[in-house]
Amino acid sequence: MTQPLRLGIAGLGTVGAGLIALVQRNAALIEARAGRPVTITAVSARSRSRNRGVDISSYAWEDDPLTLARRDDVDVVVELMGGEDGPAKALTEAAIAAGKDIVTANKALLALHGQALAEAAEAKGVALRFEAAVAGGIPVIKALMEGLAGNKITRIKGVMNGTCNYILTRMEDAGLPYDTVFEEANQLGYLEADPTLDVGGIDAAHKLALLSAIAFGVQPNFDAIELGGIQQIEIEDIRAAADLGLRIKLLGVAQMTGRGLEQSMTPCLVPADSPLGQLKGGTNMVVIEGDAIERVVLRGPGAGAGPTASAVIGDVIDIARGLRLPVFGQPAASLAQPQAARATASKPFYLRMTLIDKPGALAKVAEALGNAGVSIDRMRQQGHADTRAPVLVITHKTTRDAIDHAVALSLKTGVVVDEPVALAIEED
């Protein structure tokens, strides 16, 4: 009889319980496709008594995940605890040292420590797979590492955080302010324990760093990503975007240029009728552009027990089949240290400013933009009932550096109240 592939699962939250349910439910299907049985022998979590909705009574229990990693009856360690350091990092290092293959959904761990872990795993001859770390159930890692491996990837962009997309689309559909929808998302359990990871763009930027590493053959470089969250977005911005035929999305973009690797995860405006503009709720989308395939669009559920467990078991089945690939698609030792570059491509921008309502205020702002080399396409002052006058500006094509300079000059005029909101308009 063919030897089973034996899993040790560390972390029994939503994804861990979902994985157990999937393995139990689809055991025969998984065996047929993997070419051998896939079984669970041991589990570890913080609480043994918690009801997780799945039967774990037949599995060995380890209070210490490091002990689980060293068990002789565990072939693959599945790390679902999360966290960029601490137990998750220690477990992954212990599994590698013990010669175990690892499957993880931990994007933060790999975005920050991926290079060192990849070198260690490859030196030890073990697999380190992480399909579940990026875009939930969408097989984007597999697409880049296998199906598109012969392409020179030119650009990656997409919506990679379902919570942010839920908040933005809910604001638009229900006409609700950000704070109300944020609290709603929190009550529904959509937000991380530290909500800034979601709404601050950090979670999505971790994912972008991993995609960039595979796509461009570079070491993960999370610290070089231009980062912006959705906390500044107000219902007025949502409505103004709709009037322009646009929608606001937290958009990740990465591309290699002659100056270096450009990476950003920031709120942007996209055409409402584009694939990205039509994306609703917690759905993710990744657009991959390459020299041979031109453009591939991958769309699907970005989180949740089922989709994430699906990605985990896909990696497990590959290991069962004997598939061995470098962690980031090519040997870790060959990955370049990327030169970080700021985007210089010209594009229109949306600006929202709140001005003191007095004569000459608009003229001062227009002069500040002109002095920064920013040309105004359209300007609109919204109705108001007090001394604060909201003003919306759509610029002609310009650069992010010019916009930042224009904002800085505007703030020095003495007529701008609060920090302006500046969002790029992505036309493609």
Cα dihedral 329/332/337/341 (nearest 10): 20
So what's the pLDDT on residue 189? 77
Fold (CATH) for 140-300+337-341: Dihydrodipicolinate Reductase; domain 2 (3.30.360)
The tens place of each residue's pLDDT in the chain, 428 residues long, gives 589 999 999 999 999 999 999 999 999 999 999 999 999 999 999 988 888 999 999 999 999 999 999 999 999 999 999 888 899 999 999 999 999 999 999 999 999 999 999 999 999 999 999 999 999 899 999 999 999 999 999 999 999 999 999 999 999 999 999 999 999 988 877 878 788 999 999 999 999 999 999 999 999 999 999 999 999 999 999 999 999 999 999 999 999 999 999 999 999 999 999 999 999 988 999 999 999 999 999 999 988 889 999 999 999 999 999 999 999 999 999 999 989 998 888 999 999 999 998 888 889 999 999 999 999 999 888 766 677 888 999 999 999 999 999 999 999 999 998 889 999 999 77
All CATH 3.30.360.10 domain ranges of the chain, comma separated, are: 140-300+337-341
Q: 89, 107, 157, 207: which is the annotated catalytic residue? A: 207
Fold (CATH) for 349-425: Alpha-Beta Plaits (3.30.70)
So what's the pLDDT on residue 49? 84
So what's the pLDDT on residue 385? 61
So what's the pLDDT on residue 417? 87
All CATH 3.30.70.260 domain ranges of the chain, comma separated, are: 349-425
> Is 107 part of the annotated catalytic residue set?
no
So what's the pLDDT on residue 344? 85
All CATH 3.40.50.720 domain ranges of the chain, comma separated, are: 5-133
Decide if domain 5-133 falls under CATH 3.40.50.720: yes
